[in-house]
Amino acid sequence: MREVAVIGIGQTRVEEHWDKSLREIAGEAVLLALQECGLEQAESLYVGNMMSGSANRQQHLGSYIADWVGMRYTEGYHIEAACSSGAAAFRSALMAVASGSVDSAIAVGVEKMTDSPGGEITTQLATAADADWEADMGLSFVAINALIMQRYLHEYHWSKDDFAGFSINAHANGAHNPFARFQEPINKAGYQKAPMIAEPINLLDASPMGDGAAAAVLIPLDNIRKQAGQKLVKVVASTAATDTIAAHSRKNPIWLSAAEKSVKQAYNQAGISPNDIGVFELHDAFTIMAALSLEACGFAEPGQGPRAAIEEQICPKGRIPISTRGGLKARGHPVGATGMYQIVEVVQQLRGEAGETQVERPVYGMSQNIGGSGSNIITHIFKSE
């Protein structure tokens, strides 16, 4: 297995791109990533996307995007793992390069959720849940997460307000990210006043939809001629684990077993412990998911996730900075693109390009992308050299 590095990144701002098609958004991120590393094209293209078949009436995104960016005759695929489609595309691209099958690959995550001819997006998002036993019973994704959060509050005696810090940190950081959907800070009073969506999840616990794309170029480490002063970002771990598709089938619905499985393997692969992680882009689709991720990944004891927010351990200068570019909450959550935004943001941090919210000299950065209500969890660890 060859060592692989990320040598180019690109992203579009997450927003409602009414004036742009799916291929224009994805193409922009791909071309920016290629441009950054001076490549004209790559040998293969992996497109992470969840809903284009229904939301945009367009499947076959491998050929579709390769064609659009002028990558003629290269290979191209569409990878889907619900909200973890982005990281799944990255992991596929990584294996293509690591196996020696190709010498360069691009992973791009893209989702276009506005202007959907496929109808209501909430219904389409529910295709990530169990169609027979969750979606058809009327459970939306917010509702599933609300049930999980209810149970968590009951079990560990936190109050809803104890989760405010996740949202406040995300928005504070998003304010400095030109690619974030929301660029205004919020405060605790605002969080408390936010309208309820599905008790106990209010508007500021939930990440917003949006259109966007983020991309990365991968090549074998040995093929890089490092220039003086150039910071290199190497992939040191890539792991994934599934869990039951329905949240109600899990023995303990308030513990992310797939995250635990995936992250333990990742620490092993990288030969490090949680203490070595300088920045952690986690999947804060809902504040409860941020808490559960911190616990499953070894940054908080079971049931103690909210404490990390209350004590500001999660802020850029804290013990375990998360959502440093806004996270899903403020940067936005264009589902199939999110995993790639997380990876691009970790690369920015490791290169020292994160501006106002730059973490101090991180050596290892981790991204973790969650599909469904915890049913597919993909972890990557990167190292700055």
- What six digits make up the tokens of 307? 């404490």
CA-CA distance, 193 to 195, in Å (whole number)? 6
Provide the angle, in degrees to the nearest 10, between the axes of the packed helices 141-156 and 287-296.
60
Would residue 154 show up in a list of annotated catalytic residues for this protein?
no
Contacts with a second copy in 286-345 (CB under 8 A)? Answer: none
Among 114, 183, 244, 304, binds a second copy (CB under 8 A): 244
Among 242, 338, 358, 367, binds a second copy (CB under 8 A): 242
Q: Give the H/E segment covering residue 379.
A: strand 376-384
* CB nearer a second copy, residue 127 or residue 150: 127
Q: Reply yes or no on whether 283 is catalytic.
A: no
CB 104 within 8 Å of CB 215: no
The binder of a second copy chosen from 32, 37, 114, 127 (CB under 8 A) = 127
1 binds a second copy (CB under 8 A): yes
Q: Give, as ranges, the residues between 63 and 102 that touch a second copy (CB under 8 A).
A: 63-64, 66-67, 71-82, 88, 92, 95-96, 98-101
What pairs with residue 202 in β-bridges?
A: 196
* Residue 341, both tokens: 């935004």
C-alpha–C-alpha distance, residues 234 and 237, integer Å: 9
d(CA 203, CA 193): 9
Amino acid at 379: T
Minimum distance from residue 210 beta carbon to a second copy (Å): 19
Least separation, in Å, of the C-beta of 93 and a second copy? 10
Among 16, 37, 39, 60, binds a second copy (CB under 8 A): 60
| Cα torsion through 335, 336, 341, 344, rounded to 10 | 170
Q: Which of 78, 176, 283, 333 is catalytic?
A: 333
**Do the Cβ atoms of 212 and 14 come closer than 8 Å?**
yes
By CB under 8 A, how many residues form the interface with a second copy?
A: 68
Q: Which residues pair with 5 in a beta bridge?
A: 219, 234
**140 lies in the site for a second copy, by CB under 8 A:** no
The bridge status of strand 201-202 relative to strand 44-48 is unpaired
Q: Name which of residues 252 to 271 contact a second copy (CB under 8 A).
A: 257-258, 261
Q: Which stretch binds a second copy (CB under 8 A): 202-210, 320-328, 354-362, 374-382?
A: 374-382
Two tokens at 3? 């060592």
Task: Evaluate the CA torsion angle 270, 272, 277, 283 in order and state its sign.
Answer: positive
Question: Within positions 13 to 52, which residues make up the interface with a second copy, using CB under 8 A?
Answer: 21, 44-45, 50-52
CB of 118 to a second copy, least distance (A): 7
Residue 281 in contact with residue 243, Cβ under 8 Å? no
Interface with a second copy by CB under 8 A: which range of 62-70, 107-115, 178-186, 229-237? 62-70
Rounded Cα distance between 314 and 171, Å, is 13
Closest approach, Cβ 73 to a second copy, in A, equals 5
SS3 label, residue 364 = strand
CB of 241 to a second copy, least distance (A): 5
CA distance 72 to 66: 7
Tell me the closest approach of the beta carbon of residue 234 to a second copy, in angstroms.
16
Active site residue ranges: 83, 333
Binding interface with a second copy (CB under 8 A): 1, 21, 44-45, 50-54, 56-64, 66-67, 71-82, 88, 92, 95-96, 98-101, 118, 124, 126-132, 135, 238-246, 249, 257-258, 261, 371-372, 375-376, 378
